[in-house]
Structure 1
Amino acid sequence: MSAYDILTGIQLCMAIAMIAYGIYFRKSRTCRLWWFVGPGVLVAIWAAAVLYYYTEYPFLTTLCFLMAFFLGLGLGLWFKKGLPELTYCHKQHRLHCPPFGMALPVHLLFCLLFASFQAMAYHLPFITHSWLFNEVLGFAPGIGVGWLWGRKLAMLFDIPMRGQQVYKDM
């Protein structure tokens, strides 16, 4: 089995999981922390698979990814106005997540971003030898993953503790 087939399989599985997360979080939910950070972990793994397969200059691509990740993380933490408010229920050890209307469009954007790298490299295989492609290959997922993690961390840092509150929608 070729590595390209494995990457395509990973991309399809990740896309299905990201769309499922986007649909899951469209309504108000009570979930564990792992369900909340799941999309961020999946996007990070997905970005690592894409970078590993398509990078021609690993140090340049990794450097661009890290610079963009920290830039996106800072932007996600800095621009936290308008974020939905999470609450934590001590009794059940769960997060209460309000409806995230933008979850599905953001997850679809990640699916299109990573699929575009695969489509471009498939139709123009010589482009993977370009420094510019390798810089964009590191920068685009880096800023996206950093922004996603920054938004999630900003919501987690801003959780009000409300004692023994029990939610009715469970």
Structure 2
Amino acid sequence: MSGNEMSNQESIWISNSHSFSKNVIDDTIAQLCGGSQAISAAENLALSKLKKLWVAKYKSKDREPLSNPVPLPPKPKRKPRSRKGATAVSKKVLKEDEYVDATILEDNCDVIYRINIPPLRPNWQCRNFELKVKAHVCKNNLVEPLINWQLLDTIMEVPLDEGTSILQKHVDEMLEKDLH
């Protein structure tokens, strides 16, 4: 149900609720008047006095529900999007841990490409590998397709330094093979 339909139903319900107490009085008097027997003018006058007295004592305005519509919930905020893959750092200009978007660097600029591998197997721990590659490798995301399960099994089972050197050697070989 959309928000408009819901608010329309609430407004109908509230207006029906406001008229309920008046409808009770009118229906009761109508039932008294509309029986199988015809009523005399004196009885009709007595019923009209009864209705006025009932309205005065019943105070239907005090019995009406308060209109308190529920506001719509706020729209959910968008989560900031993060780029998976490369974190580019130029040794010449930037500090070692400072992030730079690889798309603004020259293609032949050396960058450190950080790869975070989550614990995909039960015995693995989360690891970060830092590879030294050219900026065009980051821009074109050429490292990710080179990673396979066999390579992951090898680098995740050895110490971090050794795993980094194995991964660096593999990436260098594969990128050189693609260039020739």
TM-score with structure 1 setting the length:
0.27
Q: Which has the higher contact order (CA 8 A, sep 6+)?
A: 1
Between structures 1 and 2, the one with greater helix share: 1
| Bigger Cα Rg | 2
